[in-house]
Amino acid sequence: MKDAFVVGETEAGLRLDRLLFEKGYSPSRTAVQRAIVQGDIRLNGMICKPGSKVKAGDVVEGDVKLPAEQIIRPQKIKLDIIYEDEYIIVINKPRGLVVHPGAGSAEGTLVNALLHRYPDIVDIGDHTRPGIVHRLDKDTTGLMVAAKNATAYLNLARDFQRRDVKRIYLALVYGRPEAKRGIIDAPIGRHPVDRKRMAVRRNGRHATTEYRVVESHDGISLVEAALMTGRTHQIRVHMAAIGHPVVGDPLYGPGRIPAAVRSTAVRHLIEGLKGQALHAFRLAFKHPATGKKMCFEVPLPPDISLLLKTLRIDSGEEVGKVDF
Residue 94 amino acid letter: P
Cα separation, 224 vs 238, in Å, equals 13
Cα separation, 52 vs 127, in Å, equals 21
Torsion from C-alpha of 265, 271, 275, 276, nearest 10 degrees: 50
Of 142, 89, 133, 167, the residue nearest 277 (C-alpha): 142
State the DSSP H helix or E strand holding residue 20, giving kind and residue range, or none if neither: helix 16-22
Q: CA 154 from chain center: how many Å? A: 18
Cα separation, 156 vs 92, in Å, equals 18
Q: Which of 3, 17, 58, 137 is catalytic?
A: 137
Q: Cβ distance 173 to 245 under 8 Å?
A: yes
- String of DSSP letters for 170-211: EEEEES--SSSEEEEE--EEE-SS-TT-EEE-TTSB--EEEE
Q: Does the annotation count 123 as an active-site position?
A: no
**Helix axes 264-272 and 302-314, enclosed angle (nearest 10):** 170
| Residues that are catalytic | 137
